[in-house]
Structure 1
Amino acid sequence: MSDIPAHTIRFGRIAATLPVRDMDRAQTFYVNVLGFRKVFENGNPVGFAILKKDEAELHLTLQRDHASAPFNVAHLMVDDVDALHALCQREGLRIVKGIRDKDYGLRAFVLEDPDGNRIDVGQPI
């Protein structure tokens, strides 16, 4: 064990990695619907990709046998949760939990991506 306590170590970014069954479909969704841009991909066929939008970073990993989890796998903070909710509705996405003000100070909803990954989206009230 190290003698260096964890609280003295500065942490940098951390990015969610989402498993996807179809990399092309997932990238199309995150780029064309949510406005991310692809900054890296690896493999032929592509098995891993990094997407960015503003301060958000998302990693996609190809898992052809992926079974979606029945819980939120990522949390995304945005500056206009109502606009993103409206966009998701317009695009026909499954909204797992409808938009509402939470008692912990966020206006939030939960969306499901094309692979069933649940993303909790919030904005401070």
Structure 2
Amino acid sequence: MWPTLRARDARALIGFLVEAFGFEETAVYGEGSVVEHAQLSWPEGGGIMLGSDRDDGGPWRLTPGSFGCYVVCADPDALHARAVAAGATVIQGLNDTDYGSRGFAVRDPEGNLWSFGTYRGEPRAV
């Protein structure tokens, strides 16, 4: 799956997501301040797609700042420190859950919610 979001300042958000969380800028299409399409890859697999909020958003209209995502990560403690150093707003500090995950949740400068943790989901039934 490739979650998608829109941003008021897509180029600034891309920079934040790379610096704060370690996403890798794989592709960015657009000119000037407008990002038509961007792909940011997650080092542990998968990624997100995003673009600038535009009046001509067409049928794929998303409200900036309304995105939420859970991302699996191997080292939430190091990622938490990185995110805080980059200015992410912590909404849930590092914690351990009763289902075996360690993680945290933050808000990015656009208002989107990001939860990171070690929980990889339950195995699928065969």
Interval of TM-score (by shorter of Structure 1 and Structure 2): 0.7 to 0.9
Structure 1: gaps (5+ residues): 1-13
**Aligned mate of 1:46, from 31, 35, 51:** 35
Q: 1:31 to 1:89 in 2, by over 3 A?
A: closer
Counterpart check, 1:68 vs 2:65:
yes
Cα deviations across residues 58-116 of structure 1 (Å, max 9, x unaligned)? 111212684523xx711101000011111122222101111110112211211111211
Q: How many matched pairs?
A: 109
TM-score with structure 2 length normalisation? 0.75
Percent of matched pairs sharing the same residue:
31
Name the CA distance, whole Å, in 1 between partners of 2:18 and 2:86. 13
Letter in 2 for 1:46: V
Letter in 2 for 1:48: H
93-102 or 40-49, larger mean C-alpha shift:
40-49
SS at match of 2:118: strand
Shift in Å at residue 20 of structure 1? 1.1
Q: 1:32 to 1:86 in 2, by over 3 A?
A: closer
Residue 20 of structure 1 contacts residue 64 of structure 1 at CA under 8 Å; is this kept in 2? no
TM-score with structure 1 length normalisation? 0.75
Counterpart check, 1:96 vs 2:91:
yes
By percentage of residues, which structure has more strand? 1
